[in-house]
Structure 1
Amino acid sequence: MSFNKLFEPITVGDVELSNRIVMSPMATNLATPEGYPTEELVMYYVRRASVGLIITEYTYVNRVDARGTPNQLGLYSDDLIPKFARLTEAIHNAGTKIFVQLVHVGRKTRRDLIWNNTPIAPSNVPLLEPVREMSEDDINRVINDFVKAAIRAERSGFDGIELHGAHGYLIAQFLSPAVNRRSDRYRDGVIFLEELLKEVRSVVSIPIGLRISVTEFDNEGLTPEMVAKIIKRVEGLLDYVHLSAGRDGPLGSSMPFYYKRPSFIDEAKVVRSTTKLPLFLVGSISTPEDAVKVLEVADAVVIGRQLLADPDWPIKVRLNMPIRPCIRCNQSCRLLATREVRCDVNPELGWELLPTPPKGFGEVVVVGGGLMGMEAARILALRGFDVKLYEKGDKLGGQLNEIRDPYKRAEFMRLVDYYERELKGLGVKVYLNTEFKDDGGNVIYAVPKERQPEFKDYRGLRILLDSNLYAYQDYVFEWVRRNEVYVTDNVFRGLDRARAYLLMEKYRELGVEFVKSPESVKADVVIHSVYRDQPSIGKAIARGYWLGRTYGQLK
């Protein structure tokens, strides 16, 4: 398959993008509490500047009631312009374009995040906390906040502006019939959008786009047909449309591995048939094949989590190099209530400012062919060592080979394929079915101190699972074929809510029973073990990375 179309230029407004790969706006918590870019955030974006366009994370427009997360970007004051100009300068020096995504979160926030003010919304429909219905004065104030933020964006050197009208934020709250219950003229939420676009367009000369959810996953919310009509009404005020999905529920654009990939192409076709505007499309796109398929409908493909997993994705597609895959686990990249963005398969995410480790020479032996060992071998080889990797089993991958969940296995085993290609390209010598005998040389033992529980083949029994260990979640797929299986809420503890929701749906399809308490079932086998901190892919890879990175340093 040819991937050449990905690297064709495209013009948005009067801005030419060097290729059709766009970095999705994703929250990071890498900004300061005051809302300006840190050096960590600047380098996070620079590291991904091989795309044709970077769209920043959502950036709030006032310091009154617009913020949604603690360390979110904000363009609420002229004082912030020099710091944002530093970001745009860095991206331009790296050879690409950058748009800022402006947002007011409306009801999708809490008082403690908006300086103890009451969240506002088009209607008094609470979400996280009680809200106040917006008056016309509030509406005019918020439009003015967007206008001022747009002026700051252009003065900061941004190449364009994207208004965030997706995912249940304020613009989406006006547009969605599920939550807009006003009785005045703004009951037609497109009027608010039109007024906002007209005012913003009157003060800036850079392109303006709109991100909108092409589906909200419920019968009361936006549908592709509704979105097509909305876009048609405001088409003359826009330079492009960015289609995403979701509102307030667990389902959105960042689908876990239980959902089809790539997502939302069928929905996008409805919008495509009614507008000639450049169309951007996001949704679980990770492979080059996915991306080319998207370009059959859209003009640009928006990549999110895959660029967290591998910031060099565009370069590697063009050069046919091994790509570190996003496995759509939705774990470390979704812990933004309390953490900065991280990625289970990319231990460098969020640490882009770390210096390059020193070069090495000579032979190093790595014992253990699981994720820890493969990552350690990869880093050592990149540093210049002659690496030998020993695995006593007949294949690489360690505990990944034990996965029983078919949806998880389809994604996670791509990680093993990546390491096999990467290690081969780096010249790592791999010895399978081999017990290493320590001869006193340079050896790294990359064997986990703890592991997930091994599978036990129960038959004809009543099994009660009251554990959040990942392995047991997998084993349910096997157990339910020959047993009665009951699960408690603890099974889903710690999972991203979209992953938990879809896992529950898969269990229901298989006939798994849900119970509120372990005492409600008289079971033959009871499994109870709830962990706050359990073995995981992310921990194994991170440990291997640091083993390889710090090898040779004095302790």
Structure 2
Amino acid sequence: MSIMFEKSRLNKLELQNRFVRSATAEGAVLPGSEVSEHHIKTFAALAEGGVGLIIAGSVAVSPEGGAPHVTGIYDDAQIAGHRRATDAVHEAGGKIAIQLFHNGKMTSKALTGHTVLAVSKDDTMDDDVKEMDAADFKRIGEAFVKAAVRSKEAGYDAVQFHIAHGYFLHQVLSPKDNRRTDQYGGTLEKRINFISETIAATRQAVGPDYPLLIKINSEDFIEDGVTLADSLEATKQFVAAGIDAVEVSGGLGGDIARVGINKADKEAYHRKQAAYYKEQLTVPVIIVGGVRSPEVAESVLKDEVADYISLSRPLIAEPDLINRWKSGDRKKAFCKSCNSCFKPLTTGEAVHCAVKRAQKNRT
């Protein structure tokens, strides 16, 4: 059997293979940031399609940190909807985690109805943006912990903290976004502290056996952004605080989901960064970004670049991709890496593969 389909464990959680569905904003959210039938059907299809661990998300931990196209888990009333999703996955034999996030400055009052919170405010931000004070940090830290507790109650098998792609926890870590001079910013150690404390408090709240993961920018690829060395040092501190596995991503804007991945040498575009983490961490590493063929996935695992392969866009087009590869059909993923799947989010529609839908409509 290929290494891709070996069983493994994250903390006490047993997984059937080495494939992870990377957290993806789904759209089609019900009023109150509630889970919809689209989410339930999507997650169930991924479980039936053979994905070892599905990561649902991003899911907001507080109202001002959310957006119209993402679900929330900041209210006990939202637990029931999430429970329907996790039940559907478990009935299909799958495992599902939840990605917790807060937008920070990456939103607007027009979208959320709330004052926007920024780690640091500058002259480019309007009057609806507030620079966070100590009380704001305390409240949001507690919101992450409470959201994790609700997630466990809702039946999620693990929790992932989103520390990538410019969202709030990434803003705290980034020297470009965090220009504070108090206990929450300045040195790398101070930029790490809030996140470490939040992870440690979550670990205490959910117990020692519940898997906690992070998705983190290995590099921002911009001037004054997070560097590879600083990201690794931060990650070591997060592992010490209670993290069980690390999903290695990187970049902002167009660097996140690259287009034109049409050759094997363009795949796994965070390979160098993942290998750097893998060499120095004591917990499993998950690589995300551009894997489209089973040969590349297998080589990443065999070469010990990473322990797991994380996919998003290919699984939007083919939720049964993993079972197809396992059956012996080793054709590369259908995904054209055009990013058209994410355009529906701008209108609140469900994420879908526009290429496949267009083909279906022509037949």
Instruction: Please confirm whether the aligned pair reaches a TM-score higher than 0.5, indicating the same fold.
Output: yes
Residue 119 of structure 1: aligned partner: 116
Among candidates 215, 218, 239, match of residue 222 of structure 2: 218
How is 1:440-479 mapped onto 2 (pairs within 5 angstroms)?
none
Query: Does the residue aligned with 2:177 lie in a helix, a strand or coil?
Result: coil
Query: Does the residue aligned with 1:277 lie in a helix, a strand or coil?
Result: coil
Matched AA of 2:8: I
Q: Check the 8 A contact 2:69/2:345 in 1, yes or no.
A: no
Deviation at 1:128, TM superposition (A): 7.6
Query: Does the residue aligned with 2:316 lie in a helix, a strand or coil?
Result: helix
Q: Report whether the alignment pairs 1:344 with 2:342.
A: no
- Cα distance change of structure 1 residues 209 and 125 upon mapping to structure 2, 3 Å threshold: farther
How is 1:280-291 mapped onto 2 (pairs within 5 angstroms)?
280-291=286-297
Matched AA of 2:231: V
Deviations 1:42-72 (A, max 9, x none): 0011111111100001100112x111x3131
Matched AA of 2:295: E
Q: Report whether the alignment pairs 1:160 with 2:158.
A: yes
How is 1:249-328 mapped onto 2 (pairs within 5 angstroms)?
249-252=253-256, 254-257=257-260, 260-295=266-301, 296=303, 297-321=305-329, 325-328=334-337
CA distance in 1: counterparts of 2:123 and 2:167, whole angstroms:
13
CA distance in 2: counterparts of 1:344 and 1:48, whole angstroms:
18
Residue 361 of structure 2: aligned partner: 543
Deviation at 1:126, TM superposition (A): 7.3
Deviation at 1:28, TM superposition (A): 1.4
CA distance in 1: counterparts of 2:44 and 2:261, whole angstroms:
32
Matched AA of 1:191: N
Matched AA of 2:350: E
CA distance in 2: counterparts of 1:309 and 1:122, whole angstroms:
37
Matched AA of 1:230: A
- Cα distance change of structure 1 residues 258 and 314 upon mapping to structure 2, 3 Å threshold: closer
Deviation at 1:80, TM superposition (A): 1.2
Among candidates 84, 87, 91, match of residue 82 of structure 2: 84
Query: Does the residue aligned with 1:345 lie in a helix, a strand or coil?
Result: helix
Deviation at 1:345, TM superposition (A): 3.0
- Cα distance change of structure 1 residues 95 and 129 upon mapping to structure 2, 3 Å threshold: farther
RMSD over aligned Cα, in angstroms?
1.8
Query: Does the residue aligned with 2:68 lie in a helix, a strand or coil?
Result: coil
Residue 107 of structure 2: aligned partner: 109
CA distance in 1: counterparts of 2:270 and 2:126, whole angstroms:
31
CA distance in 2: counterparts of 1:294 and 1:118, whole angstroms:
44
How is 1:389-538 mapped onto 2 (pairs within 5 angstroms)?
none
Q: Report whether the alignment pairs 1:244 with 2:249.
A: yes
- Cα distance change of structure 1 residues 274 and 85 upon mapping to structure 2, 3 Å threshold: same
Deviation at 1:96, TM superposition (A): 1.2
- Cα distance change of structure 1 residues 323 and 294 upon mapping to structure 2, 3 Å threshold: closer
Q: Which protein is bigger by CA-based radius of gyration?
A: 1
When the two structures are superposed, what TM-score results if normalisation uses the length of structure 1?
0.60
CA distance in 2: counterparts of 1:126 and 1:172, whole angstroms:
21
CA distance in 1: counterparts of 2:76 and 2:122, whole angstroms:
33
Matched AA of 1:37: V
Query: Does the residue aligned with 1:162 lie in a helix, a strand or coil?
Result: strand
Query: Does the residue aligned with 1:222 lie in a helix, a strand or coil?
Result: coil
Deviation at 1:83, TM superposition (A): 1.3
Deviations 1:160-215 (A, max 9, x none): 10011111111100101111100002112101111111111111132111110111
Q: Check the 8 A contact 2:292/2:333 in 1, yes or no.
A: no
Residue 22 of structure 1: aligned partner: 20
Matched AA of 1:542: K
Q: Check the 8 A contact 1:66/1:106 in 2, yes or no.
A: yes
Deviation at 1:324, TM superposition (A): 5.2
CA distance in 1: counterparts of 2:279 and 2:341, whole angstroms:
37
Residue 514 of structure 1: aligned partner: none
Matched AA of 2:284: P
Deviation at 1:31, TM superposition (A): 2.3
Query: Does the residue aligned with 2:354 lie in a helix, a strand or coil?
Result: coil
Q: Check the 8 A contact 1:224/1:271 in 2, yes or no.
A: no
Matched AA of 1:543: N
- Cα distance change of structure 1 residues 304 and 258 upon mapping to structure 2, 3 Å threshold: closer
- Cα distance change of structure 1 residues 127 and 204 upon mapping to structure 2, 3 Å threshold: farther
CA distance in 1: counterparts of 2:214 and 2:279, whole angstroms:
18
* Paired residue total: 346
CA distance in 1: counterparts of 2:123 and 2:4, whole angstroms:
42
Residue 503 of structure 1: aligned partner: none
Query: Does the residue aligned with 2:202 lie in a helix, a strand or coil?
Result: helix
Q: Check the 8 A contact 2:317/2:352 in 1, yes or no.
A: no
Q: Check the 8 A contact 2:43/2:54 in 1, yes or no.
A: yes
Q: Check the 8 A contact 2:165/2:251 in 1, yes or no.
A: yes
How is 1:72-221 mapped onto 2 (pairs within 5 angstroms)?
72-115=70-113, 117-125=114-122, 131-187=129-185, 188-205=190-207, 206-221=210-225
How is 1:346-385 mapped onto 2 (pairs within 5 angstroms)?
346-347=356-357
Q: Check the 8 A contact 2:86/2:154 in 1, yes or no.
A: yes
Query: Does the residue aligned with 2:254 lie in a helix, a strand or coil?
Result: coil
- The structure 1 segments of at least 4 consecutive aligned residues displaced by more than 3 Å after TM superposition are 125-130
Query: Does the residue aligned with 1:229 lie in a helix, a strand or coil?
Result: helix
Q: Check the 8 A contact 1:32/1:71 in 2, yes or no.
A: no
Deviation at 1:78, TM superposition (A): 0.6
Q: Check the 8 A contact 1:110/1:129 in 2, yes or no.
A: no
Query: Does the residue aligned with 2:350 lie in a helix, a strand or coil?
Result: coil
Residue 36 of structure 2: aligned partner: 38
- Cα distance change of structure 1 residues 128 and 92 upon mapping to structure 2, 3 Å threshold: farther
Query: Does the residue aligned with 1:190 lie in a helix, a strand or coil?
Result: helix
Query: Does the residue aligned with 2:310 lie in a helix, a strand or coil?
Result: strand
Matched AA of 2:360: A
Q: Report whether the alignment pairs 1:227 with 2:45.
A: no
When the two structures are superposed, what TM-score results if normalisation uses the length of structure 2?
0.91
Q: Check the 8 A contact 2:293/2:333 in 1, yes or no.
A: no
Name whichever structure is richer in helix by fraction. Answer: 2
Query: Does the residue aligned with 1:48 lie in a helix, a strand or coil?
Result: helix
